[in-house]
Structure 1
Amino acid sequence: MARVSIALESLQALQTSSISPLAKTADENRNRLYEALWGWKLCDGCRYTGTCTIVTCPKNRVPSLQRYFEHYKELVCSYGHDLEDRKDAVVRSHDGIFDLIRILKEKPDITRGLLAKHVFGSPTSIGIESEQEHVIGLAVKALTMVYSTHWLHQNAEHDNGDLVSPNWQKDIPFNAFLEGLFPMVDHPGFGEDSSASFWEMKNKITGNKLVRKGRLTFAPTEDLSNHLKLNRKTGVIEIFHHTAFLKENLRITRSLKGATGIDESLRLGALPRQLALEALDSIQKIIFPLSDPSAVILLQRLVAEKGFDEDCLRFEASAIREAHETNTRYVYFGARLADIYDELENPTPRGLVSRWAKRKGAGHANIATIVAVVIALIFGLVTLGLGGFQAWISWQQWKHPIEGSPRKSLSFAIQRLRD
């Protein structure tokens, strides 16, 4: 019951975000957020005159991160909209959130329990402990774009109907929690970028083919751990659409040599490079290949109608990629790509006829036969009805001949011969 009460309070906070002190001060803390996350250093022009004077200044990337920052403000709004009247609030400003982000970066192996104790001290009540969990979850979400607490996740709009959210347990290290969310599986087919099966499968699961042939749809997700999840019942594929966030992560790790582990990446404020590359390329090279005009049109429609980040339509290479990073192996999302491919090859029955055929054991191969039999039966009944109607008309014409009809003319001729 306590969880339900907390979730309801958070939902009310979302609905009354206009009076949230944290929400009111979000815009003026935007650059400090990026500094805490990625170590942004603005040029002297930005700091002293408010006018950017250097092309390479990170402030030039602020517009592309607008969608990500809007999500951050939504998260902030979900916490304590009445902070001005509370003396026991866990945080009163964005500084508390930024401090949590910095500690997560410095100590990626810290447990949630130790993190809460280190920052907030011992909780005085269950309510305060829940608030601490919420604020920590907010910092984790800003840093990694994954949910780590049920409280935040229950307030998130979840288009795919998946209400099961991960929860970072008190005695689990932060890096272990993330490794559990993103297990590495060398899936045959998508695990090797040079294999024939990879190119064949890749070319079959473009967005337009999934829509036309598979009758699948796409929904945006704010949780990276849900990227490419397929709900077979509804036919919805979740897409993590914050590509600007992924690109910022790739900029940070671009200068590193060799594969980077999760600890090394987190200390820089980034996700593992392979994970970010897979997420970005699965969007811009596989599902919505930006080299295909029809895929661009589909993606533009999703931006306009479903709220996808407009940055999905911007392809970048030199600033975020190494020269050898042209083709991507999929060890994090390979299994999900294969799941989508399997759905396209063996569609899940969703229509009435399809479900009936599956229950009766007819399978997908017999659906066309069933449809043909139904159509033939309908045409047979229509033909039979037309035949009966024509016979009735003929009988009526014989019984009640009209003036000038052949039957009446013949009767008149016979009568004249008799006379």
Structure 2
Amino acid sequence: MAATYNLKLQILSTPSRSSLAIAKKENQQNLCRALWDWDCCHSCLNNTDSCVGLICPGGRIRGLHRYFEHYQELVSSYSHDLEYRRDAAIRSHEDIFRIIQLLRKQPNISRRRLAEEVFGHGQASTEENADREHAIGLAVKLLTMVYSTHWLKQNAEHDNGDLESATWLDDIAFDAFVESRFPTTDHPGFGEDSSSSFWEFKSKITGTKLVKRGGLIFEPTEDLSNHLKLNRATGVVEMFHHTAFLKESLRITKGSGGPMSIKESLGLGAIPRQLALEVLDSMQKIIFPLSDPSAVALLQNLVSNKGFDRDCLRFESSVIREPHETNTQYIYFGARLADICDELENPTPRGFISRWAKREGAGHANIAAIVAVVLALLFGLITLGLGGFQAWVSWQQWKHPINN
């Protein structure tokens, strides 16, 4: 298995000669057009550096740099298959954009029906069906930032060892699949922003406190449904970091006049507004509040060393929020925030001594007792050593007296 894994890494590190392996600025603009109906100005379409349109969205291309990098990682891993196959499901960026547009046009389409509309009704082999699943998975991931096939998850840049992402089944509607990835819960602490415990919980779980007191580690995730997922065994908290992507959804749905269904949001090329607000605010207002210099420094470190989107450091309000959207109610991620808070108050033992003490049932008291015994033993050995050394020196002086 190790040899197979190493061979896979060697193949993926080899530059692909497929047309998918190269993404030009034109491909980025066309992707934004397929996703969000971008209508760029003449200068942007001609790939010049000066954007002359006052309302042209082309100026936000640079802000989406990390999202485009992820797009390139996905299509590059898929394009390696094209080196050995002539019947691949997709052979160009435009093929992916066409699937995205079909998903937006028919958000309640089943996966089987989508495959028939894209690839035809002909009989397909097992290998062809798997290839088509991968192609559809690419489009789903770009539109929703959710994995719908294990193949994409296994080739992800960041998967944190989690390969349990759900697969979009043949007879399930697209909007129903997306909805299943984000169940809602009403947690008493984080479910209501007006509750008395909300501000207390919020102040407890800033990033610096979670790192210094809880020993937790933040890792980026490319799967929106894994945001704030805590692995108690390893102490890893996954953070969805593509905030520029989230802001595009908020721009599209701003001024919608009220709550929208998942089907309506997907038709606009957006994820649900409430979902985008929760992810953005849990990062910029709770875990890494931009008013806290130490939290900002921690986030800057994650951007530099862990590949987080640099846009995480940009706080925007008026262009993406409604006037009443100042405090966010957490119906999607309230339970996960509460889990993180509980981990800080009742940390999971991860070291050998901590696990032993926990297993014995006395927790921190046993840890303190063990440390005290070890220190006493250490000091005892040091004292014994010093006493022995003094005795040896005295014996040497008696045996070999120095004559004046």
TM-score range, shorter chain: over 0.9
Per-residue CA deviations over 1:209-243 (Å, capped at 9, x if unaligned) read 11111111111111111111111111111111100
Structure 1 residue 344: Cα displacement: 0.8
Give the 3 Å change call, closer, same or farther, for CA 339–82 of structure 1 in structure 2.
closer
Residue 22 of structure 2 is matched in structure 1 by 24
> Residue 88 and residue 15 in structure 1: after superposition, are their counterparts in 2 closer, same or farther (change >3 A)?
same
Q: Taking structure 1 as reference, are residues 27 and 38 closer, same or farther at Cα in structure 2, changes over 3 Å only?
A: same
The question of whether the paired residues in 2 share the 8 Å contact of 1:21 and 1:84 is answered with no
Taking only aligned residues, the RMSD between alpha carbons, in angstroms, comes to 2.2
Instruction: Report what 1:412 is aligned to.
Output: none
Corresponding residue of 1:362: 362
Q: CA deviation at 1:341?
A: 0.8
Q: 1:143 to 1:189 in 2, by over 3 A?
A: same
Deviation at 1:366, TM superposition (A): 2.5
Aligned partner (choices 9, 12, 34) of residue 36 of structure 1: 34
Aligned to 2:171: 171
In structure 2, relative to structure 1, the CA distance for the partners of 1:156 and 1:186 (3 Å cut) is: same
- 1:118-152 CA-to-partner distances (Å, cap 9, x unmatched) read 21113421111111100000000000001100111
Measure, in 2, the Cα distance between the counterparts of 1:311 and 1:277. Answer: 15
8 Å Cα contact 2:153/2:159 also seen in 1: no
Matches within 5 A, 1:318-333: 318-333=318-333
Residue pair 2:357, 2:363 contacting (<8 A) in 1 also: yes
Q: How does 1:198-209 map to 2 (within 5 A)?
A: 198-209=198-209
What is the Cα deviation at residue 80 of structure 1?
3.6
| Distance across 2 between alignment mates of 1:177 and 1:86 | 30
Aligned counterpart, 1:58: 57
Amino acid at match of 1:299: L
Identity, in percent, stands at: 67
Paired residue secondary structure (1:239): strand
- Aligned positions of 1:181-196 closer than 5 A: 181-196=181-196
Alpha-carbon distance, 1:64 to partner: 0.4
Determine the C-alpha separation between the residues in 2 that align with 1:10 and 1:376. Answer: 53
Partner of 1:180: 180
Aligned residues: 400
Q: 1:48 and 1:384, CA in 2 relative to 1: closer, same or farther beyond 3 A? A: closer
> Which region of structure 1 is more displaced relative to structure 2, 386-395 or 26-35?
386-395
| Aligned counterpart, 1:74 | 73
Matched-pair contact (CA < 8 Å) for 1:10–1:78: no
- Structure 1 residue 84: deviation in Å? 7.6
Q: 1:253 to 1:107 in 2, by over 3 A?
A: same
Please say which of residues 230-239 and 265-274 is displaced more in the overlay. Answer: 230-239
CA distance in structure 2 between the aligned counterparts of 1:301 and 1:12, rounded to whole angstroms:
29
CA separation in 2, counterparts of 1:362 and 1:25? Answer: 58
Q: Distance in 1 between matches of 2:6 and 2:177?
A: 26
Mark the runs of 5 or more structure 1 residues left unpaired by the alignment. 405-419
Structure 1, 118-127 or 218-227: larger mean CA deviation: 118-127
Name the residue aligned to 2:247. 247
Which amino acid in the other structure matches residue 198 of structure 2? F
1:10–1:155 CA contact under 8 A, matched in 2: no
Contact 1:221 1:239 in 2 (8 A): yes
Which protein is bigger by CA-based radius of gyration? 1
CA gap of 1:166–1:319, structure 2 versus 1, over 3 A, is same
Deviation of 1:300 (Å): 1.0
Deviation per residue, 1:84-141 (Å, 9 max, x gap): 8854221222222111111111211111111101211134211111111000000000
Partner residue, 2:219: 219
Name 2:148's counterpart in structure 1: 148
Deviation at 1:398, TM superposition (A): 4.0
The answer for the alignment partner of 2:343 in structure 1 is 343
Q: Which deviates further from its counterpart, 309-318 or 373-382?
A: 373-382
CA contact (8 A) 2:154 2:163 kept: yes
Superposition TM-score, scaled by structure 2 size = 0.93
Tell me which moved more, 67-76 or 381-390.
381-390
Give the drift of 1:400.
4.1
Residue 82 of structure 1, CA deviation? 6.0
Alpha-carbon deviations, 1:19-67, whole Å to 9, x = none? 1211225542111110110011112443468442123210010000011
Which residue of the partner structure matches residue 229 of structure 1?
229
Change (3 A) 1:159 1:371: farther
- Counterpart AA for 2:195: S
What are the Cα deviations for residues 157-195 of structure 1, in whole angstroms up to 9, with x where unaligned?
335221222211111111111111100001110111122
Shift of residue 391, structure 1, vs aligned partner: 3.4
TM-score, scaled to structure 1: 0.90
Partners of 1:83 and 1:44 in 2: CA distance:
34
Change (3 A) 1:304 1:114: same
- Which amino acid in 1 is paired with 2:383? T
Change in Cα spacing, 1:13 to 1:136, as seen in structure 2 (3 Å) is: farther
The question of 1:125 aligning with 2:125 is answered yes
Instruction: Report which stretch shifted further, 366-375 or 24-33.
Output: 24-33
Letter in 2 for 1:390: Q
- What one-letter code is carried by the residue in structure 2 that aligns with 1:208? T
2:126 counterpart letter in structure 1: I
Instruction: Call closer, same or farther: CA 1:346–1:290 in 2, change over 3 Å.
Output: same
